[in-house]
């Protein structure tokens, strides 16, 4: 988020901390650049899919920009229904689908149902038999984890479906993980799947129309990461995909890569203290609100800023001893009563004071949803959106969580 805009919003003192701010202008700029790259380098064989689990708040915006929205749970499907995303834009995924889940998705008219197992295939067959409808499915090939199925199971589905006009096995879904920092990994995976597709064609006459591929492109979070080459990995991947000798479309499925820089997290400094040689800064947020992928024991420093809000004397007034705290190392700790609640072990802060605000960037993907929001029954933060045209708006009020941690019989 632009520093000038942040400074002005903080200066006006109309922001409640802790909070998230969704930067709609930055999101649009980032997504438009991705789409332009695909248009210029991916030709008409490349589609984009947004994995909404990265950040459900931007799903409506993303639906206007991409071919598909990947939905991985019944709850995510309900979000899509609530905000009016048509079923024709949805790939209904998820490792554990029940008979009801599949029925709900099919009744909503989802475009594609992914198959994580032969069980999923049989459940879809039951539904279309009982309701006299057709279904388009996408079996997921396992990359070695709990997701997807073996080549043998994939072959069974391809072979069995040849007898069924009501099921269109449109291709293969393949995704092995995120933050792949070397394009060579993507090359190896695409070559492997291409070989599987060739074998299926030779053995069963199977015609692949779509390879839905989770690229897992890396994004920068911490000091020392390369923040100037965010789009290089996608550019190289698109060049490679365009060189593939294939007739099918490639759906590049991205979540983190679309969403990571769309939000910032603001947390206020509530207390400062010193123990032995350690300066400690207590903030009103914590690890129940932000969780950076790749953070290890809070040793790495994310991109963050210190905004001076409080007036009056500096750190020396609150601490004992004649010490210069300018640009000193500070351990930033949250409000949870656990030794784990450390956001950063060593951050350079210039005379922090209670009332000041710390801003953490690039929290738009997973950071808030993968955090332990219910731990210690603290409130979930307010969420704002900002764009130049609309200004600052509240899109979600703070949520009391203690109700979720007590018996509903009380």
Q: For residue 313, what pLDDT is reported? A: 45
Pinpoint the alpha helices (H) of 171-219. 183-204
Pairing of strands 210-214, 249-254: parallel
Structure tokens at 207: 């015609």
pTM listed for this prediction? 0.94
Pairing of strands 304-307, 357-360: antiparallel
Q: What is the pLDDT of residues 287-315, one digit of tens each?
A: 999 999 999 889 999 999 999 986 654 44
Q: What is the pLDDT of residues 360-369, one digit of tens each?
A: 999 999 999 9
Structure tokens at 50: 């947004």
| CA 244 – CA 249 distance, rounded (Å) | 11
Q: For residue 325, what pLDDT is reported? A: 54
User: 58 to each of 24, 103, 206, how far by Cα in Å?
Assistant: 9, 26, 36
**Per-residue pLDDT averaged across 166-182, rounded?**
94
Angle between helices 118-131 and 151-161 (to 10 degrees): 20
- The band of 13, judged by pLDDT with boundaries at 50, 70 and 90, is confident
Q: For residue 315, what pLDDT is reported? A: 40
Residue recorded with tokens 């709609």? 24
Q: What is the pLDDT of residues 199-210, one digit of tens each?
A: 999 999 999 999
Q: For residue 296, what pLDDT is reported? A: 86
Residue ranges and CATH numbers for the domains of the chain are 3-21+262-405 (2.40.37.10), 42-259 (3.20.20.10)
Q: For residue 70, what pLDDT is reported? A: 98
- The band of 262, judged by pLDDT with boundaries at 50, 70 and 90, is very high
Residues 34/397, Cβ–Cβ less than 8 Å:
no
On the question of pLDDT at 28 being above 60, the answer is yes
Q: Which residues contact 59 (CB under 8 A, 6 or more apart)?
A: 50, 52, 69, 79, 80, 83, 85
Q: What is the pLDDT of residues 45-80, one digit of tens each?
A: 899 999 999 999 999 999 999 999 999 999 999 999
Q: For residue 56, what pLDDT is reported? A: 98
Who wins on pLDDT, 56 or 13? 56
Q: What is the pLDDT of residues 98-118, one digit of tens each?
A: 999 999 999 999 999 999 999
On the question of pLDDT at 318 being above 60, the answer is no
**Per-residue pLDDT averaged across 363-392, rounded?**
96
Report the share of the chain in percent with pLDDT over 70: 95
On the question of pLDDT at 6 being above 80, the answer is yes
Report which of 260, 242, 183 is spatially closest to residue 215, judged by C-alpha positions: 183
Q: What is the pLDDT of residues 115-164, one digit of tens each?
A: 999 999 999 999 999 999 999 999 999 998 899 999 999 999 999 999 99
Q: What is the mean pLDDT of the chain?
A: 93
Report the share of the chain in percent with pLDDT over 90: 85
Radius of gyration over every alpha carbon of the chain, rounded to an integer in angstroms? 24
Long-range contacts, 241-244 (Cβ 8 Å, 24+)? 241/42, 241/45, 241/46, 241/190, 242/41, 242/42, 242/43, 242/45, 242/46, 244/190, 244/194
């Amino acid at each position: 988020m632009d520093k000038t805009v942040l400074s002005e919003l903080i200066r006006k003192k109309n922001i409640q901390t802790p909070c998230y701010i969704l930067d709609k202008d930055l999101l649009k700029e980032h997504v438009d650049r991705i789409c332009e790259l695909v248009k210029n380098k991916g030709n008409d064989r490349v589609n984009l899919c947004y994995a909404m689990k990265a950040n459900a708040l931007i799903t409506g915006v993303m639906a206007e920009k991409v071919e598909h929205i990947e939905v991985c749970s019944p709850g995510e499907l309900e979000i899509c229904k609530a905000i009016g995303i048509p079923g024709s834009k949805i790939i209904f995924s998820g490792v554990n689908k029940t008979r009801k889940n599949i029925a709900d998705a099919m009744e909503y008219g989802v475009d594609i149902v992914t198959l994580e197992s032969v069980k999923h295939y049989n459940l879809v067959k039951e539904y279309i038999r009982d309701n006299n409808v057709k279904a388009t499915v996408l079996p997921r090939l396992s990359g070695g984890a709990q997701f997807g199925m073996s080549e043998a199971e994939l072959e069974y589905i391809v072979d069995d479906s040849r007898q069924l006009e009501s099921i269109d096995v449109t291709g293969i879904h393949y995704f092995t993980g995120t933050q792949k920092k070397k394009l060579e990994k993507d090359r190896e995976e695409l070559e492997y799947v291409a070989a599987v597709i060739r074998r299926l064609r030779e053995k069963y006459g199977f015609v692949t129309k779509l390879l839905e591929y989770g690229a897992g492109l890396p994004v920068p979070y911490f000091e020392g990461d390369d923040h100037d080459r965010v789009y290089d990995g996608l550019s190289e991947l698109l060049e490679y995909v365009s060189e593939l000798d294939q007739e099918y479309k490639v759906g590049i499925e991205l979540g983190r890569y679309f969403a990571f820089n769309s939000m910032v997290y603001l947390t206020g400094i509530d207390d400062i203290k010193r123990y032995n040689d350690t300066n400690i800064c207590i903030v009103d947020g914590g690890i129940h609100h932000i969780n950076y992928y790749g953070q290890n024991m809070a040793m790495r420093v994310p991109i963050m800023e210190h905004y001076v809000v409080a007036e009056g004397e500096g750190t020396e007034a609150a601490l004992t001893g004649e010490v210069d705290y300018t640009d000193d190392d500070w351990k930033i700790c949250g409000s949870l009563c656990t030794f784990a609640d450390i956001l950063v072990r060593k951050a350079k802060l210039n005379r922090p004071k209670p009332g000041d605000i710390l801003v953490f960037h690039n929290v738009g993907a997973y950071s808030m949803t993968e955090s332990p929001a219910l731990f210690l029954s603290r409130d979930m933060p307010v969420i704002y959106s900002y764009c130049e045209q609309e200004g600052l708006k509240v899109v979600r009020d703070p949520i009391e969580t203690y109700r979720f941690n007590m018996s509903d019989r009380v």
